[in-house]
C-alpha cells in the first residue's frame, strides 16, 4: 500500500469518530535537508543567521532555550547580553532534550518563526557540556534556574563526581555564564541565592536586579493559553 493510500485510510478511520463540526486537518511541512541531517545525527549544528554565513568562531554569545514561547524577558536578556559583551547574541535551540522527546519539524518551524530577525543556531546538544564542545570560549546567557540545574547532582544520576567532571569540562572549554535573575516561586532569585560549587561560580557573572527584572516565564504563558 502506498504512503498516500495509507494516510487516506487513517483519515477515513479518524473521521468515523468525529462529532458535530469537527474535521480532520492535515498539516505538512517540507523541512530543509539540513534539518533532517541534524535529526539523524549527520551534523551537530545548523546556522540560521540574519545575513551571511558565519564561521563557528564568530558565535561567541549563545542564548540556549526552548523559547516556548518567546517572550519579552527573553528579548530583554538578549539585548542586555549584547550591550554588556559587545557581540551579537545567537539564540540556540537543541532539537534533542535530556528528558523530553525530540522536536518535530513543525514545532521547530513554529519556534523559528518567533525568532525572525535574530541569529539562531539549531543543535543536537541538550547538555551544557555538549554545547561547550560546539561553542568553546563562548558566554552562555542563562536564567538562574538553568544555572541551578547545571549545579544539581540529580541531573548527573545523583552523583557528585559526575557533576564535578561536567564542571571541569566546562572550565576546560573556557566558557562563561551571564546569569539573569528570575521568579522562583514567590521570590525573585539571583546567583547569590544559590549554593553552587565554587568551580561553577567562578565562571559566572550576575546581571543585577536593577538592570533586569521581568516577572514572566514561558510556563506561565503556556498555562494561561491552555485555560483561555
Q: Is the pLDDT of residue 138 over 90?
A: yes
Q: Is the pLDDT of residue 210 over 80?
A: yes
Model confidence over 57-93: pLDDT tens digits? 689 999 999 999 999 999 999 999 999 999 999 999 9
Most confident of 23-32, 101-110, 194-203: 194-203
Least confident of 52-56, 103-107, 123-127: 52-56
Q: What is the pTM of this model?
A: 0.84
Q: Where does the pLDDT of residue 10 fall: very low under 50, low under 70, confident under 90, or very high at 90 and above? A: very low
Q: Where does the pLDDT of residue 114 fall: very low under 50, low under 70, confident under 90, or very high at 90 and above? A: very high
Q: Is the pLDDT of residue 185 over 60?
A: yes
Burial 181-200 (b: 16+ CB within 10 A, else e): bbbeeeeebbbeebebeeeb
Q: In the chain, what are the domain boundaries? A: 38-227
Q: Is the pLDDT of residue 197 over 50?
A: yes
CB 148 within 8 A of CB 185: no
Would you say how long the chain is, in residues? 228
Nearest to 118 by CA among 46, 72, 50, 47: 50
d(CA 198, CA 8): 59
Give the architecture-level CATH label for domain 38-227: 3-Layer(aba) Sandwich (3.40)
Amino acid at each position: 500500500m502506498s504512503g498516500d493510500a495509507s494516510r487516506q485510510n487513517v483519515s477515513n478511520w479518524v473521521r468515523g469518530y468525529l462529532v458535530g463540526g469537527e474535521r480532520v486537518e492535515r498539516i505538512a511541512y517540507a523541512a530543509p535537508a539540513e534539518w533532517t541531517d541534524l535529526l539523524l545525527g549527520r551534523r551537530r549544528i545548523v546556522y540560521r543567521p540574519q545575513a551571511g554565513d558565519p564561521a563557528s568562531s564568530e558565535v561567541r554569545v549563545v542564548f540556549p532555550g526552548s523559547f516556548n514561547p518567546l517572550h519579552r524577558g527573553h528579548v530583554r536578556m538578549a539585548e542586555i547580553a549584547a550591550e554588556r559583551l559587545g557581540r551579537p547574541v545567537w539564540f540556540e535551540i537543541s532539537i534533542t532534550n535530556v528528558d523530553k522527546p525530540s522536536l518535530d519539524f513543525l514545532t521547530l518551524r513554529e519556534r523559528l518563526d518567533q525568532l525572525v530577525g535574530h541569529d539562531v543556531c539549531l543543535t543536537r546538544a541538550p547538555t551544557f557540556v555538549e554545547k561547550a564542545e560546539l561553542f568553546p570560549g563562548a558566554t552562555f546567557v542563562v536564567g538562574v534556574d538553568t544555572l541551578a540545574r547545571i549545579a544539581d547532582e540529580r541531573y548527573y544520576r545523583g552523583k557528585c563526581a559526575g557533576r564535578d567532571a561536567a564542571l571541569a569540562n566546562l572550565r576546560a572549554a573556557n566558557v562563561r555564564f551571564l546569569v539573569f535573575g528570575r521568579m522562583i516561586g514567590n521570590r525573585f532569585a539571583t546567583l547569590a541565592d544559590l549554593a553552587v560549587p565554587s568551580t561553577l561560580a567562578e565562571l559566572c557573572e550576575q546581571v543585577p536586579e536593577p538592570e533586569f527584572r521581568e516577572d514572566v516565564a514561558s510556563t506561565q504563558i503556556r498555562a494561561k493559553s491552555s485555560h483561555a
